Each structure stands twice: as C-alpha cells, then as structure tokens.
Chain A
Amino acid sequence: MSKTHVKMTINGDEVEALAEPRTLLIHFLREELGLTGPHIGCDTSHCGACTIDLDGKSVKSCTIFVAQAQNAEITTIEGIAHPDGTLHALQEAFRQHHGLQCGFCTPGMITRAYRLLQENPNPTEEEIRYGISGNLCRCTGYQNIVKAIQVAAEELSVKEAAQ
C-alpha cells in the first residue's frame, strides 16, 4: 500500500508529509506533528475531545483520514491563542470561570466553542448547550463551561463593537 503525499495548512503553517492513507488525522496531528492539544478520548466520534477546525467547520479528527484533509486549512487548540501568546477570550473565560476540572475535554470544548461563536456570536444558553452537544465533559456538569462561553461571547462582542 503506497503512501500518499499530503499537504495542508495547520495553524497558519504549511505542512507537507508522506503518510499512509489509513492514518487518522488525529494521529497525524499528535504523532507526526507533535500537536498533542487535540486529545483521543473515546476514539469512536462520540466525545469530541479530538475536535479541530477544518475549512471553517468543527470536525472530529478521529473520524477522518489524513488523505481526506488534503489542502485543508486546519486550526487546533494550539492555534487559538493570539500570536503574542496572550490567551483568546475563550481560554481566558474558561480559566476565570472554572470551565474545566481535569482538563481532558477542554481543547475540544474550546475549539468547538471558537467555531460556535463565529457561527452565532450571541448564543442563548440553550444554543450553547446544543452547540457543544458533540463534546462530553465528565467532570464539570457543563454549568461552568456554558458560563465561560457566555462570558467569552460578551467579551468578543464588546471588542467587536469597540473596533
């Protein structure tokens, strides 16, 4: 079985590699590129810990082959903070409002919420809960995750209004 030449943009950097087509995108990100932010939780596309942003959509990177992502534009949790290292409003809000306990689901939660707030900048609590329904957290009971996303949404719209 021959290897495939893959090329994609990840967190703003162009990446080229030879990979077996059967390589799952999550394994490529974590093992080839050392991007260990996206996690492998259930490995069955239920838990959302492996969520990344692919061509402007949230997807579960455990259920996509690297070859399918040819020429894609990808953002992982490593690409969410600002280039100067300061935290994104979502990251800051999760920190301030205890939106995590063990932290395992957090990269997927924040990456999903990042896209959710672009699709819907002012979501209701119900829209947030439905929007993150593909991400499981076994610690928090979701309350503080929802609160953190609400706070980040407010922060981001205040910033936008100021610009």
Chain B
Amino acid sequence: MIPGSFDYHRPSTIDEAIGLLASHVGDALILAGGHSLIPMMKLRMATPEHLIDIQDIYDLSAISIGANQIDIGATVTQAQLIHSEELADCCPILRETSLQIADPQIRNLGTIGGNVANGDPGNDMPAIMQLLDADYVLQGPDGTRTVKARAYYEAAYFTARSENEILTSIRFTKPAAGHGSSYHKQKRKIGDYATAAAAVMLEVSNGSCTSASIAMTNLADTPLWAEAAANALIGSALDADAIAAAVAAARAITNPASDGRGPAEYRTHLAGIMVKRAIETAHARAG
C-alpha cells in the first residue's frame, strides 16, 4: 500500500510548526510517531498534501513532574512512559496502560499526543486522561488554550481541536500519594484494541472510599467518563453492593458497536466485568 504524495516539513520550533499549519490549513496534518496516521494514509483514508513532522521540536518530548502537577509533552512515546520510574512511582496507571497498547516496536514510535489527539475511540489514553481530569494544551496562531479531556471528544475522529491547532502537551494534577489505580483491558490478542476496558482510580481512608474516578475505552464512539459510577463508590466501604451499583451505572452509559470484537450486548457485559475487576484491583493497591 502506497500513501498519496505530500510535501514533507520538519520544523524545529513550535512557532514554525504553527506557521506551516496556518499556511496550509485544511491540507496539512501533524506527524508525530505516525502509527495512527501512516496506516490511514496507506489506506488513502487520509491524503494530506503537507505533513509536518514534529519530532525535532525538543520542547514536546519531555515528561516533567512537579510538586503538584505532571506535564507530558505530545511527542513522548509509549516506551518513554513505560521507562520513566519517576512517573511510575507517582502515577502508575500510565505505565500499566502503555504496556497494554500495541507491541514493543509500535510503543517505540507511537506517542501519547497522537494517541489522545485524533479521537480514535479504540485508543486507550483518552479514557486515562478523562480518569485523571487532564487538560490538553492546544497551540494555534491565536495563542494557547486548554481543553479538558472530559470535554475534548465529540464523536469518533471529531474533537475540540481546530485544524490550525497542535496538541502540544497534557497536564494533570499529580494523583494523591496512597491512591490505588488500575486499567483492565480485554482484547482478543496483543496489539488489538479493547473489546472493553475500564480504568479506576480511588482513595481509601479508614476503610471508606473518599474519592473515585472511572473511565472506559472503546465502548462508545468517544471515551466514557463514568461520573455516576464513581459516585456510587464514594462514601462506601467498596463492598459488593457499592461495586454492583457502580457496575450498573457504568454499563448504563455504554453504547458499543457490534463488530468483530463481539455483539454490543456482550461488550456491555464485559464492560461491567472490567469495571468490577478494576475497582477491586485499585482497592487492593490503595493505601
């Protein structure tokens, strides 16, 4: 499969990249790791006339962990996320999730920015960013703005990002010390998208759940932040009744496609199982 022709640009600053995007708006796409875009170009589902490769923009390739905030640059690869011990110490769900994405070769090139930016409902990191209540930093000719991950996804491949903007980084509050988290992903084989997947993060104090967040992957045409499901846990002892209520609330918001991964009923059923297991694992890890 041969992609269509394009002009290749390789800017070394973000301003240069935004300028290039502005001068070819509608005809240009951003290339990071390429592992979503190049397959689409090979199928001619994407036919940009200009590709703007952002790999040389050094500022986008760092993970910075402050006292209260974590910033991850758009071109940080899944392999970088896995290898950062500091990140695994304070926010282990990122390593846990990256290890469930694709395979080693793809994780060496695939970036977190690409994973969250394009709005592919099969991608795993969007649900994680909704779980963490992350902000996406978008830079364009008119400056910088942030959009909440929970407000970014409109439909499959439709997002709040304008054509002249670049998603440059992801920011979120450092999770509280002692929190428990888990990402459970059911897939048919290594490298597959989720049949159903659920992420849970919670805190427990004196046996009672004091905060909770739940999000799900590939169970609708956007990632799903399951607010009611999380509320069913807060204040409970994470006992069987509370978990059953959370599972029911999570299942209620799913709307999966019936496809090669199974009929919709099956995937909704599986969503409930993933939520239950993720709550139990997160609980066991809390404290």
Are A65 and B38 within 8 A (Cβ)? Answer: yes
A22 to B41, CA, bound (A): 10
Closest to A61 in B: B105
Query: Among the listed stretches B5-13, B112-120, B133-141, which one makes contact with chain A, having 4 or more residues with CB under 8 Å of it?
Result: B5-13
Are B104 and A134 within 8 A (Cβ)? Answer: yes
Are B105 and A67 within 8 A (Cβ)? Answer: no
Are A21 and B105 within 8 A (Cβ)? Answer: no
| Minimum Cβ distance to chain B for residue A3 (Å) | 10
- Residue B145 at the chain A interface, CB threshold 8 Å: no
Write out the residue numbers on chain A whose beta carbons fall within 8 Å of the beta carbon of B191: 46, 133-134
Query: Among the listed stretches A51-59, A88-96, A99-107, A148-156, which one makes contact with chain B, having 4 or more residues with CB under 8 Å of it?
Result: A51-59
Are A70 and B10 within 8 A (Cβ)? Answer: yes
Write out the residue numbers on chain A whose beta carbons fall within 8 Å of the beta carbon of B8: 4, 21, 65, 67
Contact of A60 among B1, B41, B55, B105 (CB under 8 A): B105
Can you list, as one digit per residue, whether each of B73-116 has a CB less than 8 Å from chain A (1) or not (0)? 00000010000000000000000000000111110110000000
| Minimum Cβ distance to chain A for residue B122 (Å) | 14
Interface size bucket, A side?
A: 20 to 34
Interface size bucket, B side?
A: 20 to 34
| Minimum Cβ distance to chain B for residue A56 (Å) | 10
- Residue B53 at the chain A interface, CB threshold 8 Å: yes
A window 1-39: CB within 8 A of B: 1-2, 4, 20-22, 24, 27
| Minimum Cβ distance to chain B for residue A66 (Å) | 9
Contact of A43 among B1, B35, B104 (CB under 8 A): B1
- Residue A137 at the chain B interface, CB threshold 8 Å: no
Write out the residue numbers on chain B whose beta carbons fall within 8 Å of the beta carbon of A4: 8
Contact of A59 among B1, B31, B109 (CB under 8 A): B109
- Residue A41 at the chain B interface, CB threshold 8 Å: no
- Residue B3 at the chain A interface, CB threshold 8 Å: yes
Q: A21-B6, A60-B105, A134-B102 are in contact. Are A43 and B42 (CB under 8 A)?
A: yes
Contact of B7 among A2, A27, A51, A68 (CB under 8 A): A2
Contact of B4 among A22, A59, A67, A112 (CB under 8 A): A22
| Minimum Cβ distance to chain B for residue A131 (Å) | 6
| Minimum Cβ distance to chain A for residue B180 (Å) | 24
A64 to B109, CA, bound (A): 9
Ranked 5 nearest A-B pairs via Cβ = A134-B103, A21-B8, A1-B5, A57-B108, A133-B190
Residues of A within 8 A of B (CB): 1-2, 4, 20-22, 24, 27, 43-46, 48, 51, 57-60, 63-65, 67-68, 70, 112, 116, 131, 133-134
Q: A64-B34, A65-B8, A134-B191 are in contact. List 20 more A-B contacts (CB 8 A).
A: A1-B6, A1-B7, A2-B7, A21-B5, A21-B8, A44-B39, A45-B38, A45-B39, A59-B105, A59-B108, A63-B35, A63-B106, A64-B38, A64-B109, A65-B31, A67-B10, A133-B104, A134-B105, A134-B106, A134-B190
A-B contact pairs, 30 of them (CB 8 A): A1-B5, A20-B5, A21-B5, A21-B8, A22-B3, A22-B4, A22-B5, A22-B41, A24-B2, A24-B38, A43-B1, A43-B42, A45-B35, A45-B38, A45-B39, A60-B106, A63-B35, A65-B8, A65-B31, A65-B38, A68-B31, A68-B53, A70-B10, A116-B104, A133-B103, A133-B104, A133-B190, A133-B191, A134-B103, A134-B191
